[in-house]
Amino acid sequence: MPVILPFEGHVPKVDSALFIAETATLIGDVELAPGTSIWYGAVLRGDTNIIRVGENTNIQDLCVLHGDADWPVLIGSRVTVGHGAILHGCKVGDDCLVGMASVIMNGCVIGTGSIVAGGTVLAPGTEVPPRSLVVGVPGKVRREVTKEEIESLIRHSWEVYLDLARRATRGEK
């Protein structure tokens, strides 16, 4: 069973989630929309502010989501958050891909349809326009995301994880 802990009267609302791995930890004011999957070793700490995760979004292995007193974590629908990413007090729009080992800091806003490349670090307060490819340390917008990338990378990623979550829920390997 995953670790689901109350904090100051707030209990994570996870009933509509599709899959929560047994080694995931959810604390406090966390709400998961239908179709959400939270994978192995992920930690969602809703102790200092709220965490909201949209429909069909996947939070992969070893991710950390944590708010700050002034900054909640708001993640849209159909978002993939890659292995080991850290999202701290930020907002991610719908239909985004946040690459593995990325760090998204307080006050960052990632526009709908954007891709944050693996290993990218977004400095506090960075605003990423919709349909942007962001790369580097510090992260910089390199170009606009193409329609093909939205289909082949963003859509494909969340669909694969939706299928994996359904299979994991049924106990398939």
Q: In tens digits, what is the pLDDT along the chain, a chain of 173 residues?
A: 899 999 999 999 998 889 999 999 999 999 999 999 999 999 999 999 999 999 999 999 999 999 999 999 999 999 999 999 999 999 999 999 999 999 999 999 999 999 999 999 999 999 999 999 999 999 999 999 999 999 999 999 999 999 999 999 987 54
Q: Are 52 and 69 in contact (CB under 8 A)?
A: no
How far apart are alpha carbons 70 and 31 in whole angstroms?
A: 18
Domain boundaries, the chain: 3-169
How far apart are alpha carbons 72 and 30 in whole angstroms?
A: 10
Tokens 């999202």 identify what position?
87
Which structure tokens are listed for 120?
A: 């990218």
Tokens 């990338």 identify what position?
149
Question: What is the structure's pLDDT at 98?
Answer: 99
Cβ within 8 Å of residue 145, ≥6 positions away: 113, 114, 115, 131, 132, 133, 154
Question: What is the structure's pLDDT at 17?
Answer: 86
Domain 3-169, second-level architecture: 3 Solenoid (2.160)
Q: CA-CA distances (angstroms) from residue 19 to 5, 59, 71, 130, 139?
A: 17, 10, 26, 29, 31
Q: How many CB atoms lie within 10 A of CB 94?
A: 18
Question: What is the structure's pLDDT at 173?
Answer: 44
Helices (H), 38-155: 147-149
Closest among 34, 25, 27 to 53, alpha carbons compared: 34
Residue 68, beta-bridge partner list: 71
| 3-state class (DSSP) for residue 151 | helix
Question: What is the structure's pLDDT at 55?
Answer: 97
Q: Are 161 and 60 in contact (CB under 8 A)?
A: yes
Question: What is the structure's pLDDT at 16?
Answer: 80
